Amino acid sequence: MGNKNKLGEFGEKAATEYLISHGYIVRETNWRLGHLEIDIVAQDPTENRLHIIEVKTRASDQEFDPMEAINKAKIRHLVNAANGYIEHYELPMPVQFDVMIIVGTQPDFNIRFYPDAFDPPLATRH
What are 5-23's pLDDT values in tens digits?
788 898 999 999 999 999 9
Compute CA 111 distance to the chain's CA centroid, rounded to the nearest angstrom: 13
State the DSSP code for 47: S
pLDDT of residue 3: 65
* Host domain of residue 10: 3-118
CB 79 within 8 A of CB 123: no
- Can you give the C-alpha Rg of the chain in angstroms? 14
Is there a domain that residue 124 lies in?
no
Mean local confidence (pLDDT), 104-123: 83
> Which helix or strand (DSSP H or E) is residue 45 part of?
none
Tell me: pLDDT of 124 over 80: no
pLDDT band of 98, cuts 50, 70, 90? very high
Q: Is the pLDDT at 107 greater than 80, yes or no?
A: no
Is-contact 75 68, C-beta < 8 A? no
| Domain assignment present for 95 | yes
For residue 104, what pLDDT is reported? Answer: 84
Model confidence at 4, pLDDT cuts 50, 70, 90, reads: low
Tell me the C-alpha distance between 16 and 10, whole Å: 10
> Residues 35-83: pLDDT tens digits?
999 999 999 989 989 999 999 988 876 666 656 778 888 999 999 999 9
Residue 55 bridge partners (DSSP) = 100
Give the three-class secondary structure for 49: coil
Sequence-ordered list of residues with C-beta below 8 angstroms from that of 32, at least 6 positions apart, any chain: none
* pLDDT score for 5: 76
Q: Is 119 left (phi over 0), alpha (psi -120 to 50) or beta?
A: beta
Which CATH number is 18's domain given? 3.40.1350.10
Is residue 123, in this structure, part of any structural domain at all?
no
Domain contains 109: yes
By the 8 A CB rule, do 25 and 43 touch? Answer: yes
